Amino acid sequence: MDRRNAAEKVRKCLALAESSEPHEAAAALRQAQALMRRHGLTDADVEQARVRSDRSEGRCASRPPRWLVLLTNTVGGAFGAIPVHGDGAVRFVSIGERASLASYAFDVLLRQLRRARRAHLKTLRRCKPANRRRRADLFCESWTHAVRRKVTDFSMASADRALIESWLAANLPVRTRTSKGAGSLSDRDWRSIAAGGAAGAEAALLHPVAGGAVRPRLLAAK
């Protein structure tokens, strides 16, 4: 049994130690203490066992474009997870199942966005390659902003955020990314932005249900 699994088992034992049945509670507490001694675990190690990291399936560039950073931050905010870029993918780090829900939602949205991008590229005729790529990127940014308006951020407790930050510092040196502005825009750029916003408004996505629960719910496209 590795330290992480041991820490998780300690957490389960401590939960059982809260039982109203005194003999069961005492036995669970003794087992938790024995596991901590055997594996050299501290209280902080046990608490960090709550943190999960889930890797997205979608491949991403080592230097992600602005629209991809916007998308990961949107999903992270909706699920109370911190996105981390590296190794050609995005990891979402959060408490419990929120990490896997964020990763799944990101993959769902990324597939939709890439389909929409390919469709928009077909409308960009007689463009220089650089302009074509720029307008496709602007389309994607606008698509993501439209999706952002459809979700509600998960309210993450400050203690949970501090715990995740501590886990990140110990386990993942690659951190979150911010995005730069798009610069000056032409009329054709704005047409791509308008098209992206319209397409993004039709996206279907997962996000936590009201009340802070993290059970996935699919929102019907408008």
Query: Which pLDDT tens digit goes with each residue over 89-126?
Result: 888 999 888 899 899 989 989 999 999 999 999 988 88
Same domain, 122 and 62: yes
Closest CA to 41 of 49, 30, 50, 29: 49
Q: Using the 8-state DSSP alphabet, how is residue 178 labeled?
A: -
Same domain, 69 and 147: yes
- pLDDT at residue 189 tops 60: no
Same domain, 189 and 123: yes
Same domain, 117 and 192: yes
Q: How many residues does the chain have?
A: 222
Q: Count Cα neighbours of 54 within 13 Å in the Cβ-side half-sphere.
A: 20
Res 7: pLDDT: 73
Same domain, 136 and 209: yes
Q: Write out the residue range of the structural domain in which residue 29 sits.
A: 3-47
Q: Using the 8-state DSSP alphabet, how is residue 214 labeled?
A: -
Averaged pLDDT, 127-146: 88
Same domain, 72 and 116: yes
- pLDDT at residue 62 tops 50: yes
Chain centroid, CA 56 distance in Å: 9
Residues 6+ apart with CB under 8 A from 63: none
Res 2: pLDDT: 72
Helix runs in the chain, H state only: 3-16, 22-39, 43-48, 66-79, 98-121, 129-148, 158-171, 187-200
Mean pLDDT, all residues of the chain:
76
What is the percent of the chain with per-residue pLDDT over 70, rounded to a whole number?
74
Same domain, 26 and 136: no
Domains contained in the chain, number: 2
Same domain, 212 and 124: yes
What is the percent of the chain with per-residue pLDDT over 90, rounded to a whole number?
7
Same domain, 41 and 57: no
Closest CA to 193 of 147, 152, 146: 146
Res 16: pLDDT: 74
Same domain, 148 and 57: yes
Same domain, 34 and 130: no
Res 112: pLDDT: 92
Same domain, 43 and 60: no
Res 181: pLDDT: 53
Res 188: pLDDT: 59
